[in-house]
Homo-oligomer: A and B are copies of this chain.
Amino acid sequence: MTVYHETVTVQSDRRPTFHDLTDEARAALLRSGIQNGILLVFSQHTTCSVLIQETSDDVDDAGTELLMQDLVTVLERLIPTLRTEGQYRHPGPRHIEAATGRNELPGWSLNTDAHLRSVILGRSQAIPVLEGSMLLGEFGRIYFADFDQVRARERTVRFHIIGE
């Protein structure tokens, strides 16, 4: 049995961003040499998710694929972007204090919406690997979603492949 691990970094923005990482996952699988097993695409960030969806072909003015833009619209209805203090109970005073102790600006904690969106959409995707290929079907593509709107930053996505 082999366990192969690799990371890729993506650059987020101050709006929900979606990166198609299908090609990167395929390349990692090839480098792993694993023919049969499971490829786990995992986000360790608590305001991010990993999704499988088809490509939209079309994008909006900000470059976001239309299906992902529709997803953001749905999420905005369910979990509105945090705009006014007290809109959510989180972050509380201890959380702000802990963040400040890590030299974070207080405003960086005002991403409750992103935490809630990411927990609903999930943290990872497990993909079957058979005879050297991911079984994503004709249309399935892997997206890394970053719902954090308070700051742009570099994010890490993990490809964790187990098999032989």
Contacts and interface: CB of A to CB of B under 8 A. Distances in A.
Interface of A: 1, 3, 5, 36-38, 40, 42, 44-46, 51-54, 56-58, 60, 65-67, 69-71, 73-74, 77-79, 88-95, 97-98, 112, 115-116, 119-128, 130, 135-137, 139-140, 156, 158, 160, 162-164
A121 B124 contact: no
Contacts of A93: 58
Contacts of A58: 89-95
Given A53-B115, A98-B57, A91 B66 contact: yes
B51 A127 contact: no
Given A40-B38, A40-B128, A77-B78, A46 B140 contact: yes
A112 B160 contact: no
8 contacts: A3-B130, A5-B128, A44-B140, A51-B119, A52-B119, A66-B89, A70-B90, A70-B116
Nearest to A92: B58
Contact of A46 (B52, B97, B119): B52
B42 A46 contact: no
A139 B164 CA distance: 32
